[in-house]
Amino acid sequence: MIRLLISFILFFVTGSCQVTNAQTKVMKTQTGYANVNGIKMYYEIHGEGKPLVLIHGGGSTIQTTFGNILPLFANKYKVIAIELQAHGHTSDRNAPETFQQDADDVAALLQQLSISKASFFGFSNGGTTSLQIGIRHPEIVDKLVITSSAYQREGMIPGFFEAMQHANLTNMPKPLQDAFLKINPDTNALLTMHNKDRDRMIAFPDWSDDDLRSIKAPALIINGDKDVVTNEHALKMSRMIPNAELMILPGVHGACLGEICVAIPGSKLPEITVEMVEEFLDK
């Protein structure tokens, strides 16, 4: 049970598998680094259109979180996918990870890219970061898509925070370890990233309801019916954010994205998720 809990929430992931879709366009990808608040932040830009920022989960990379759905979004939007502090290609700083700092880093990156406003799709830890962007940087937010994320400790299933006390590399999903080491073969960097993610969740403080009430951008809250974030908490979030909608989809944590640890070959759920998100973004 401990391994399952840790796999599903500390390391919020999405598939690294290739998406093959007859309607997926072949398009150029721009990659780069930006000096942001003392770190070198990695980003990729795919496609053209309105900006959509993808923010991965804890322990993950762009590909391990969004590999199965990024190409679908890039058919319609200018997708800016980023890797946060200590994750993937992005360097670390001599400071703990915080969702507030992550939000500030993303905002600073967009400023350097001359993107004044965008929509944000965040998964798990990335969704919590996206909430902070809505709170701290409302001027840059068009819409928010918050997937499998929480803003208070009560939002996690029973046993989650107890499981965090036992989190170590032994119970970090191997696909995530492999993906990190493929990018950065430094095992010490992997351990540092793991421990910072773990410690952030262990010490996670409740946010106030007023924090969520301050978010003015339209928001779509997505949760799995067997997620590690409870459906009751997802409903609460949708009621706290003034202009929010709620969508409960079948599956465990990350199934709606086709994430690497729970992807089901041939499942149409990731495509359905993309279609529903696009409908929300295009309103």
- pLDDT computed for residue 27 by the predictor: 63
- Which tens digits make up the pLDDT trace of 168-187? 999 999 999 999 999 999 99
Whether the pLDDT of residue 19 is over 60: the answer is no
- Residue-level pLDDT at 261: 78
Lowest mean pLDDT of 4-13, 177-186, 210-219, name the range: 4-13
| Spatial separation of the C-alpha atoms in residues 65 and 10, rounded to whole Å | 13
Instruction: Give residue-wise pLDDT tens across range 79-108.
Output: 999 999 999 999 999 999 999 999 999 999
Is the predicted pLDDT of residue 146 greater than 90, yes or no?
yes
Of 25 and 95, which is predicted with more confidence? Answer: 95
Contact 175, 13 (CB under 8 A): yes
Q: How many residues does the chain have?
A: 283
Domain map of the chain by residue range?
A: 2-20+29-281
Assigned token pair, 80: 């800016």
**Angle of the 125-136 helix axis to the 99-112 helix axis, nearest 10:** 70
pLDDT of residue 20: 34
CATH 3.40.50.1820 describes domain 2-20+29-281 = yes
Task: Tell me: pLDDT of 29 over 90.
Answer: no
Amino acid identity at 222: I
Mean pLDDT computed over every residue of the chain: 91
